[in-house]
Amino acid sequence: MAALEHYDRYLTELTRLEPDKREAHEPRRVIAVRQIEALRLSIPKLTLLLPPAVRATPSVSVDDEPVTAAMLGTELRLDPGMHRIEVKAPGHEPSRSTLELRQGQTRTVVLELGVPTAPPPPPDAGAADAGDAQRTWAYVVGAVGLVGLAVGAITGGLALGQKGIVRDNCSDHLCNTEGKSAADLGQTLADVSTISLIVGGSAFATGAVLWLTAPSGEIGGQGEGAMLRVGGTW
């Protein structure tokens, strides 16, 4: 990224020179343009998407650098290597994860919120009302957890299906177009599967705690909680 910014600054400075002085830099300008084209092909690109159910845009950062709402859904150019992603939203625990980008790789990640935080009961609510509210949250969070487990199972099966395509179209880490597409899709599916299964397990534990610690009341329930983070292996 630093090299690309250097060449971009050089070309910008050239535009400010007088035409006669600019001609003396023409050989260097050609080299800079070629280097920029080569660098743009090798720089990893990451697109972050919000899930459809999110009503308000959460606070998102990559490597502690804020990602604005306008940047979501667009390609972010990052250096190869590991990157930290954090998502914060009102009413949810922060969701933190790591993601590795290879040279020239293009990836799309659907961000998800952390575990919902149970709201405190009203100051004048009795023990029964507080218990009912907590069990209601257990139901809600549990439903999210079940969805996470189902998504994890389905996407895991789809990811395994892509492995066969990769085996048929790749050899010694070299792939044709179909093999490369299958590898990228398999990676994304595996990421979603791993994340969803983690979410489901965490959700189940959270829902169980909400249910077991709820004050006594006439209305009961059961549930799980949910948290989704970006990551996984395939």
| Tens-digit pLDDT profile for residues 28-37 | 877 777 777 7
Same domain, 82 and 172: no
- 197-222 per-position pLDDT tens digit: 787 778 777 877 776 777 764 444 44
Residues near 119 by Cβ (< 8 Å), separated by ≥ 6? 91, 133, 137
pLDDT at 86: 94
Same domain, 37 and 54: no
pLDDT at 128: 60
Domain ranges, residue 66: 45-112
Given 80, 112, 144, which residue is the final one in a domain?
A: 112
28 vs 11: CA distance, rounded Å: 10
Q: Are strands 59-62 and 174-175 parallel, antiparallel or unpaired?
A: unpaired
Same domain, 136 and 196: yes
Same domain, 37 and 134: no
Given 112, 141, 164, which residue is the final one in a domain?
A: 112
Given 79, 112, 145, which residue is the final one in a domain?
A: 112
CB-CB contact of 107 with 47 (8 Å)? yes
Same domain, 128 and 207: yes
Residues near 197 by Cβ (< 8 Å), separated by ≥ 6? 148, 149, 152, 153, 156
Same domain, 108 and 133: no
Same domain, 122 and 199: yes
Same domain, 37 and 49: no
Residues in the chain predicted with pLDDT less than 70, given as ranges, are: 1-8, 10, 38-39, 41, 121-131, 139, 141-142, 211, 216-234
CB-CB contact of 232 with 173 (8 Å)? no
CB-CB contact of 137 with 221 (8 Å)? no
pLDDT at 129: 65
CB-CB contact of 217 with 127 (8 Å)? yes
Residue 45 DSSP symbol:
E
Same domain, 149 and 214: yes
Number of structural domains found in the chain: 3
Same domain, 162 and 203: yes
120 vs 114: CA distance, rounded Å: 18
What is the residue-wise DSSP string for 46-114?
EEEE--TT--S--EEEETTEEE-GGGTTSEEE--SEEEEEEEE-TTB--EEEEEEE-TT-EEEEE----
CATH number at residue 90: 2.60.40.1120
Give the max Cα distance, the chain: 88
Same domain, 99 and 21: no
Same domain, 95 and 143: no
Phi, psi of 32 (to 5 degrees): -65, -40
